[in-house]
Amino acid sequence: MTLFDDWRARSPFYDDSHTAVADSVRAFVAKEVAPNIDAWEDARQLPRELHAKAAAAGILGLGYPEEYGGHSTGFDIFHSLTQSEELAAVGAGGLSASLMTHGIGLPPVLALGSDAMKARVAPAVLAGDKIIALAITEAGGGSDVAALTTRAERRGDTYVVNGGKMFITSGMRADYVTTAVRTGGPGTGGISLLLIEAGMPGFTRTPLEKMGWHCSDTAALCFDDVAVPAANLIGPENAGFAGIMRNFNGERLGMAHSCCAYARVCLTEAADWARTRTTFGKRLAEHQSIRIKLADMARQINATQAWVDLCAWQVKQGLGQPADFAMLKVQATRMLECVAREACQVLGGASYLKGSKVERIYREVRVNAIGGGSEEIMLDLAGRQLGYR
């Protein structure tokens, strides 16, 4: 039994249906992912066929409309959290980031896109035949979405796009890119969303080498007079900012849960090591200081998971608040940073050698603290939403 199995068994938010999802995804990970994850890390990307296999296993479509090939009847947000937990078991954040990139790229299309766009894009993505990414961040703007400069100029039935995006997950392999562009004046009121497609003349991309998330391809995108059909506009012109912000709330909740999941991987590996490693004539786990360390790691994880589950329940009830998601993300990323550090201390020199899950997760701490909104931006957002100004 894993730590999360035990958590679910004693939680009011999970039942046997969530256990069934856990068992199914766990079997998929054991067969298709665990034997290959190190090779994919070295290759710096996931194989495209993994998306189709994940779709066949019911992973890509979980929570998405059945009319587009998903399966939503009888499933709730806690099934998605359970799935995320099992994907984290291999201790490689790039797996979920890239395999599940449709989780941030597809929702704006489904929420705001035309019926024709949804019918063309969603089934192919949920079947694993196509990959979709989200492109918001720019090299000069970071978390300051309102200041983005990539411009799309309307010329008849076409938008001509110039500019660039940075740090785009699945940016090298994506067939579709949900892209934030400026179609109007400065600030939030001049931003729109466009679906830019691979192969459009003038659309180029460059791979980026990173500290972690190695199996997730990340790219810098360049748009040089890219002609995009006006039919690829996602939602009304100059009304894209609201869609971006709504997307961020779900992304931040998902990242917070992932932090709990990877922290549990760290705790499990550290506890297993402590039970077998001998120092000064006894097992590490027999040293009081090590037991205190492990218990404190569990304390921080469980406290954060309780907040994750509460926020997930609030989403299910339509009671979610942006300030909560922002503060929760900071709580979760700081918790992961502490737990990963302590796990490294327990493993000692072994944690500095390539091959342990703790080593890989420790390298991926910072991307969680920065991606989806940095700690400082999150806390300032929460402070403003809570009226502290």
Task: Let me know: does 101 contact 132? Beta carbons within 8 Å.
Answer: yes
CA quadruple 357, 362, 363, 365: dihedral, nearest 10: 120
Q: Please classify residue 246 by burial: count the beta carbons closer than 10 Å to its beta carbon, then call 0-12 exposed, 13-18 middle and 19+ buried.
A: middle
The helix or strand, by DSSP H or E, that contains position 233, with its residue range, turns out to be strand 233-234
Angle at 306 between CA 19 and CA 263, to 5 degrees: 75
Distance CA 361, CA 384 (A): 32
Q: How far is CA 185 from CA 108, 153, 225, 234, in A?
A: 22, 12, 19, 18
Distance CA 25, CA 6 (A): 17
Distance CA 361, CA 247 (A): 25
Q: How far is CA 58 from CA 79, 128, 136, 180, in A?
A: 12, 11, 28, 30
The helix or strand, by DSSP H or E, that contains position 330, with its residue range, turns out to be helix 322-347
Distance CA 240, CA 197 (A): 18
Distance CA 104, CA 107 (A): 6
Please list the active-site residues: 251
Each residue of 102-116: b (16+ CB within 10 Å) or e? Answer: bbbbbbbbbebbeee
- Partners of 218 in the β-ladder: 169
Distance CA 36, CA 92 (A): 11
- Relative to beta strand 218-229, strand 282-283 is unpaired
Two tokens at 155? 């010329």
Two tokens at 265? 């991987």
- Relative to beta strand 132-135, strand 176-182 is parallel
